[in-house]
Structure 1
Amino acid sequence: MSVSMLSTFLKPMHPEGWRFVGIFAAVTLVAFFISDPLGWLCLGLTVWCYYFFRDPVRVTPQRKGLVIAPADGVVSLVDHAVPPPELELGSEPLPRVAIFMNVFNCHVNRAPVPGRVVKIGYRKGKFFNASLDKASVDNERNCVTIEMEDGTRIGTVQIAGLVARRIVCFVNEGRIVSCGERFGLIRFGSRLDVYLPAETQTLVCPGQTMVAGETVLADLTGEERARAGFGH
């Protein structure tokens, strides 16, 4: 098997996952002593755990004004909503894109724009299914606001889901981040909301698959109309 073929299947793993993969591997060894079928089942779960924490290289568009998807997954909502107070983006509804991540998606979160982290706010909450709209209000969440060079602010909200039980944030207030830079991770199924400036036209639609660090959500300098999806 060539190196290029290997790289297709073997992705780098984020350091956050080593402990979990180690636990799964240890359980697998014990399971094989108990029975082969149980051992093979646990081995499959170990491979899944490694796959969950994968951290592939992404090529991020660098054109000024682009807002890039901060998470892998499927767009579950494109609407207007009042941002959580932790973002400090005001009390008026803003354009929102919600990305739902299932347990098979890569869960490393990336900065949607370059700028300075001006606000981080964590709030405890419930663990409803992250695909539900009420999850943005009731679920455990971590809010990160990034201010761009021109003063424009973009809000990202990491939302825990039905299975997720830990939100991890790698940055602190005052940190300068690049577009596409890793800023967090949510363990085992979740959602990430992006709040855009008023009047921003979104360039994605519900049902569309996102690639963190690569898919363009919006162009703050462009005049394109909002996108609409069509069934086949």
Structure 2
Amino acid sequence: MKLHREGYLIITIGLLILIGIQGLNYYLWTLHDLWWIYAILTIGVLVMAYLIIQFFRVPKITYIEKTNEIICPADGKIVVIEEVEENEYFKDKRIQISIFMSPLNVHANFNPISGIIKYAKYHAGLFLVAWHPKSSTDNERTTFVIEHENGKEVLFRQIAGALARRICYYVEPGDQVKAAEEFGFIKFGSRIDLLLPLDTKIDVKIGDKVKGRKTRIGELK
């Protein structure tokens, strides 16, 4: 496991704050009548440190690519699988699969397939809760399209949630990318949408808990 570079500054600031709290704790400990406040604050410090590290962790996973396989781009839970009209890029019907990422999930995002980045666009927007039906179209988001070597294209979106206030991405149109390589990061609760061709074989169902770079979403036909 490693810590994501997007967390370095936050982790440093967090640790300085925690050290300050612990300094106050030591003072309270010297005032014996307030030992119970010291105990509560110490537990709070340990919980905060754990949550910060938990959020920015990136487990080490080795992915062996399989022909036409769509690999999960993020940790989380499948909350939507439905046929929708995609109006930004394809202008036609696609299968939408949405993955909700809670603050306890790994928040690094990974390419679902290998290919060439054909489209990448950032959209300013709202910060509705990530499971809201309109979050896909109204929230702050980025949209990407990868063209696979078989000619099929897959669209995927990073969508900010009520807590997410920064979407980071590291790819541009024309980039050659590999499945399971990192393409971005979303800070705090958020969502990833996949828009797939209608004939895609889907291997997940609503309610499934999925892992980025481990769970097979489906297969391009």
TM-score, reference length from structure 2:
0.90
Relative distance call for 1:84 and 1:161 in structure 2 (3 A) is farther
Which of 80, 83, 93 matches 2:83? 80
Which of 12, 26, 31 matches 2:16? 26
List runs of 5+ in structure 2 lacking aligned partners.
Answer: 26-37
Which of 60, 64, 73 matches 2:67? 64
Structure 1 outlier segments of 4+, above 3 Å: none
Contact 1:96 1:196 survives alignment (8 Å)? yes
2:17 is the counterpart of 1:14: no
Question: 1:56 & 1:136 partners in 2: Cα distance?
Answer: 27
How far 1:204 sits from its partner (Å)?
Answer: 0.6
Q: Read off the aligned partner of 2:2 and give its amino acid letter.
A: P
Question: 1:77 & 1:61 partners in 2: Cα distance?
Answer: 27
Q: Read off the aligned partner of 2:195 and give its amino acid letter.
A: Y
Larger strand share, 1 or 2: 2
Contact 1:160 1:166 survives alignment (8 Å)? yes
Q: Output the aligned Cα RMSD.
A: 1.3
Q: Read off the aligned partner of 2:9 and give its amino acid letter.
A: R
Q: Could you say what secondary structure the match of 2:128 adopts? A: coil
How far 1:58 sits from its partner (Å)?
Answer: 1.8
Q: Read off the aligned partner of 1:95 and give its amino acid letter.
A: I
Question: 2:84 & 2:16 partners in 1: Cα distance?
Answer: 45
Residue 131 of structure 1 is matched in structure 2 by 131
Q: Read off the aligned partner of 1:23 and give its amino acid letter.
A: I
List runs of 5+ in structure 1 lacking aligned partners.
Answer: 1-10, 222-232
Q: Read off the aligned partner of 1:79 and give its amino acid letter.
A: E
Contact 2:124 2:140 survives alignment (8 Å)? yes
Residue 192 of structure 2 is matched in structure 1 by 192
Contact 1:98 1:193 survives alignment (8 Å)? yes
Write the deviation string for residues 53-90 of structure 1: whole angstroms up to 9, x where unpaired.
Answer: 111122324111111110100000000122251xx22x
Q: Read off the aligned partner of 2:151 and give its amino acid letter.
A: G
Q: Read off the aligned partner of 1:60 and give its amino acid letter.
A: Y
Residue 206 of structure 1 is matched in structure 2 by 206
Q: Could you say what secondary structure the match of 2:2 adopts? A: coil
Question: 2:53 & 2:86 partners in 1: Cα distance?
Answer: 34
Residue 174 of structure 1 is matched in structure 2 by 174
- How many residue pairs are counted as aligned between the two chains? 208
Q: Could you say what secondary structure the match of 2:9 adopts? A: helix
Question: 1:176 & 1:155 partners in 2: Cα distance?
Answer: 15
Contact 2:199 2:220 survives alignment (8 Å)? no
Residue 6 of structure 1 is matched in structure 2 by none
Contact 1:61 1:214 survives alignment (8 Å)? no
Q: Which moved more, 1:37-46 or 1:119-128?
A: 37-46
Residue 53 of structure 2 is matched in structure 1 by 50
Identity %: 31
Relative distance call for 1:84 and 1:127 in structure 2 (3 A) is farther
Q: Could you say what secondary structure the match of 2:180 adopts? A: coil
Q: Could you say what secondary structure the match of 1:103 adopts? A: coil
